[in-house]
Structure 1
Amino acid sequence: MRQYEMFELSFQGAQPEGSFADIDLEAVFCCGGEEKVVKGFYAGDGVYKVRFLPEKAGSYSWKVTGVAEQEGEALCESADESCHGMVGAEGMHFAYEDGTLFYPFGTTVYALMHQEDRLVAQTMESLKAAPFNKVRFCVFPKHYDFNHNEPPCFAFEKREDGSWDVDRPCFAFWERLEGILARLGRMGIQADLILFHPYDRWGFAAMPQKDNLVYLDYLLRRLAAFPNVWWSLANEYDLCGAKSIEDWEEIEEFVAAKDPYRHLLSNHNCFKNWDFTRPNVTHACIQSKVLNKVARWRRQYQKPVVIDECCYEGNIQHIWGSISGREMTNRFWRVVTMGGYCTHGETFLDPGQDVLWWSRGGRLKGESPARIGFLKGIVEELPGPIEPVESWIMKMTHVSDEEKEQLLQQGEPFVKAMLRMGDELVDFCNSEFVYQGHCGQEAYLTFYDLRTCAEDVLELPEAHKYRVELIDTWDMTRTVLLENASGKTKLTLPGKEGTAVLARKVD
């Protein structure tokens, strides 16, 4: 065993007489007085497996019961320097188990799992050279524009009537999925695994709830010990007509209860946000173009906010798939400076080809990935995660009732009007003013977005000295503007879009 790495036990036995998915196989792992109970699974050809993810080093004893009866001991060595464990939510941000901060800069390849081996290999090579450390993709195949190919295999075998037999997993499918998860893990990439979606011609979206739970149970038995998986209950859950809100709540609770390690868990929307205040949900996974709401969502949900769909850089006819690389870059900067996280997607159509990155993978063609990587480098060199800077106007949205009443009685008409706006004021402020984030008093990051200021005043703490850099987010350049700045600092700016300023404490 090695800490934070999957440990596997394998046993030979007779083929199950009933369900191949719901089998009687359980293991208890003990270390230092703590126990972890995990379920095993049938892997085909008379092979049964138990997988375990050791979260601390030490001496373990284990005991397997059910279709296999065995016990033993194993020494778990401390983690390798490059291995940090699972990613979890830490306040409004993310961190690995060993405390190392994780900043998700994701991309989307929905049907990655369902392409021929050559295309999957090409996608993996593209990811090696890309800045992305998280990939969203589906367990089930997806039927949609630019994605009409038949998958190499499916999650289950079929019954005689043509329906899916969830009690008969297709082992080749699950081995293929595990191979992709392992390859992503070796590249340091998190797999944001989408468990359901509505874009379907094969019948997976319409399975009865009892079959959904059998499928999820088998998936969790096989995949929960992978340290680099996140559970995304759905892509656009609110378009899945066969499932009620009660069904989704049951699915959410089932996944959370059956996962021994409590991986990150969320649910993605089309129109209506999932209730991210629910206890099982670890972070907000949101589709939206209204990015100035990130600060409000952070305050509302008190959890990390990930804009996992903000449209795609591309040239297809759909409005969601035809924004420029510059606009995709701007959207990342807007979200990140407000303390959130953003996900990329790309939909470039080449004449005579039907391979778009967002759906099937292949090669990245857009201009935004390099710029996203430039932003990622800046974020990762900061002394901590970014929190949004609230202007005095934004702070008025959450003043006390007593303060509000005083301002309504004494304030100017402009102030009174703003107080009556409530949450709409947050949207107004973020759309009319610059985007600003900070790391305590250690660093301040300001993104001017579409504004073309020739000058500005940066308000820095007077007690410290700061080195101020001008950042061109498109040309990917950094130029020192000032050394040892403090207090109200006048800046001379180039008067162009896509400008940012970074002030780092130097004393």
Structure 2
Amino acid sequence: MLEIDLAGPAEGNPFVDVALSAVFRQGAREIAVDGFYDGAGRYKIRFMPDTAGAWTWETRSNRAELRGRTGRFDAVQAAPGNRGPVSVRNTFHFGYADGSPFWQVGTTSYAWTHQPDALQERTLRTLAMAPFNKLRMAVFPNNDDALAHQRFPFPGKPPHGWDFSRFDVDFFRNLDRRVAQLRALGIEADLILFHPYDKGKWGFDRMPGAVNDRYLRYVVARLAAYRNVWWSMANEFDFLTEKTMDDWDHYFQLVQAADPYGHLRSIHNAFRLYNHTKPWVTHASIQHGAATEDPERAVLYRDVYNKPVVYDEVKYEGDWVKRWGQLTPEEMVLRFWNGAIAGSYVGHSEIYKDPGGEIWLGKGGTLKGQSPPRLAFFRRILAESPHEGLEPIDKWQDHPFAGKHAEYYLGYFNRDKPAAWPFVLFKTGLRDGMKFRAEVIDTWNMTVTPVDGTFEIKRRDDYTFADKDGRSIALPGRPYMAVRIVRVR
């Protein structure tokens, strides 16, 4: 990321009175990028080049002292570990700009950047040791009487004495810093732009339309050049009852137009689903506590939207008083595996009672649950899968496998406790004489056990091929078991 820092006017209200942008050029190619006011007479323009080589830039402004400023720079090849931003790949999946797959294993901590600095740093230390590569996080604070908020997005006096025509630059500098730290950890920052958890305490959930627009443009100008940013228009958008569906369409289109890099965009529901088929939605972000109870249910949303589906909220691991916070660790992990077999993705969080009120879902800190080590194991299995993404093998039948036809199969038996599984594969791409090797995966105890020998298949009926000798794979009669089958050449 290149950051251009310019001196300019400080009088009046620069957030409203001063317009600043720059055009970046490489050969005949031009990319227009908005700048932003960062306080104390300083203006910044951030740019994320996507190709190496020589670039030039020239500013545009309604103020003479900022207009026509020029410069040049050379973009070098990405450093190791920098795979670029994530985008949609192969219709239902994600990949980095360098072509490598992005296997989403996300978590949620809504208000972690609104906590005291020491707690924010502890959250980052936890994330550095955790398996998660995406973090859902809210820009606005939650309504939490136990927390003395030290930063707010607008200057003024709490709870309602805000100057909505200006931004508190210290608040946004902290957000910048935390997004950059997530980037250094290889974690995508899924920024929730609106949410209903203000509940009238500060009024950030019911600002005038013009303020919402100015806020969105400012956030995009500050943060779009970070390669690890995703945009979530809202969490539980349908609880923001003062906003209409036309408003949400408008916010999507505004962010899409303001973001020169085309970062991923979605919106999260409570009871009412947004129409994710709309062209400005890149992927479906869904709350559904039952959809990933089995892969047959989870796959249905792919068929509806024909886009990547991320079940960002499937209830949470914990011991909370509400039913949405009472998943056992086993059930949390099960939902990830069922989502994968459906060719979709799942999100984690936890909400364990804490005498100090510190819960991961709301404030970050330290993880207490047992699912994260199993999700690290799960992510390792995903990373060993075909780069194109896991596709359902036979979604029209109770056949719990995903993978790549005739090459790779990952099967998951959910809560069932089979003592054996007959070696039978769905027909697509198969022919007599093909050979496969197999492994048994214990998804809870995190073990992979090779099965002796190879399996040679022959056609069994109109739909399946089976081991020519009728062999089966022995299983331990426990729940949460999986098998992995790979073609031998």
Q: Determine if the alignment matches structure 1 residue 154 to structure 2 residue 152.
A: yes
Match of 1:198 in 2: 196
Q: Determine if the alignment matches structure 1 residue 458 to structure 2 residue 423.
A: yes
| Structure 2 CA distance for aligned equivalents of residues 332 and 162 of structure 1 | 41
Task: Please identify, of 190-199 and 291-300, the stretch whose mean Cα deviation from structure 2 is larger.
Answer: 291-300
Q: CA deviation at 1:167?
A: 2.1
Matches within 5 A, 1:18-417: 18-21=13-16, 23-66=18-61, 67=63, 68-69=66-67, 70-90=69-89, 91-143=91-143, 148-158=146-156, 162-200=160-198, 201-289=201-289, 290-291=291-292, 292-350=296-354, 352-384=355-387, 385-391=389-395, 394=396
Counterpart contact for 1:123–1:362, Cα < 8 Å? yes
| Structure 2 CA distance for aligned equivalents of residues 348 and 22 of structure 1 | 47
What secondary structure does 1:491 align onto? Answer: strand
What secondary structure does 2:33 align onto? Answer: strand
| Structure 2 CA distance for aligned equivalents of residues 44 and 133 of structure 1 | 32
Q: CA deviation at 1:137?
A: 0.5
Match of 2:460 in 1: none
What secondary structure does 1:169 align onto? Answer: coil
Q: CA deviation at 1:149?
A: 1.1
Match of 2:482 in 1: 500
What CA deviation, in whole Å up to 9, does each residue of 1:234-285 have, x standing for no partner?
A: 0000111121111111111111111111100000001122111000100010
Aligned length: 460
Match of 2:450 in 1: 480
Task: Please identify, of 131-140 and 199-208, the stretch whose mean Cα deviation from structure 2 is larger.
Answer: 199-208
| Structure 2 CA distance for aligned equivalents of residues 60 and 471 of structure 1 | 50
What CA deviation, in whole Å up to 9, does each residue of 1:296-346 have, x standing for no partner?
A: 111211110100000111001110001100000111100011111111001
What secondary structure does 2:451 align onto? Answer: strand
Distance 1:161 1:239, change over 3 A: closer
Q: CA deviation at 1:440?
A: 3.2
Counterpart contact for 1:7–1:53, Cα < 8 Å? yes
| Structure 2 CA distance for aligned equivalents of residues 343 and 277 of structure 1 | 21
What secondary structure does 1:249 align onto? Answer: helix
| Structure 2 CA distance for aligned equivalents of residues 383 and 389 of structure 1 | 13
What CA deviation, in whole Å up to 9, does each residue of 1:177-203 have, x standing for no partner?
A: 000000000000000000000010211
| Structure 2 CA distance for aligned equivalents of residues 32 and 464 of structure 1 | 52
What CA deviation, in whole Å up to 9, does each residue of 1:209-233 have, x standing for no partner?
A: 1110011011111111111000000
| Structure 2 CA distance for aligned equivalents of residues 160 and 98 of structure 1 | 45
| Structure 2 CA distance for aligned equivalents of residues 371 and 21 of structure 1 | 49
Distance 1:434 1:315, change over 3 A: farther
| Structure 2 CA distance for aligned equivalents of residues 486 and 203 of structure 1 | 66
Counterpart of 2:345, as a letter, is: Y
Counterpart contact for 1:434–1:447, Cα < 8 Å? no
Q: With structure 1 as the length reference, what TM-score do the two structures score?
A: 0.88
| Structure 2 CA distance for aligned equivalents of residues 235 and 476 of structure 1 | 33
Pairwise CA RMSD: 1.6
Query: Unaligned 5+ residue runs, structure 1?
Result: 1-5, 395-428
Counterpart contact for 1:338–1:389, Cα < 8 Å? no
Counterpart of 1:483, as a letter, is: G
Counterpart contact for 1:22–1:214, Cα < 8 Å? no
Counterpart of 1:118, as a letter, is: A
Counterpart contact for 1:337–1:387, Cα < 8 Å? yes
Q: Determine if the alignment matches structure 1 residue 440 to structure 2 residue 408.
A: no
| Structure 2 CA distance for aligned equivalents of residues 265 and 21 of structure 1 | 26
What secondary structure does 1:270 align onto? Answer: coil
Counterpart contact for 1:434–1:448, Cα < 8 Å? no
| Structure 1 CA distance for aligned equivalents of residues 407 and 2 of structure 2 | 41
Q: With structure 2 as the length reference, what TM-score do the two structures score?
A: 0.91
| Structure 2 CA distance for aligned equivalents of residues 237 and 226 of structure 1 | 25
Task: Please identify, of 477-486 and 341-350, the stretch whose mean Cα deviation from structure 2 is larger.
Answer: 477-486
Counterpart of 1:476, as a letter, is: M
| Structure 1 CA distance for aligned equivalents of residues 274 and 146 of structure 2 | 29
Counterpart contact for 2:438–2:484, Cα < 8 Å? yes
Task: Please identify, of 495-504 and 434-443, the stretch whose mean Cα deviation from structure 2 is larger.
Answer: 434-443
Counterpart contact for 1:106–1:342, Cα < 8 Å? yes
Q: Alignment identity in percent?
A: 39
Q: CA deviation at 1:439?
A: 2.2
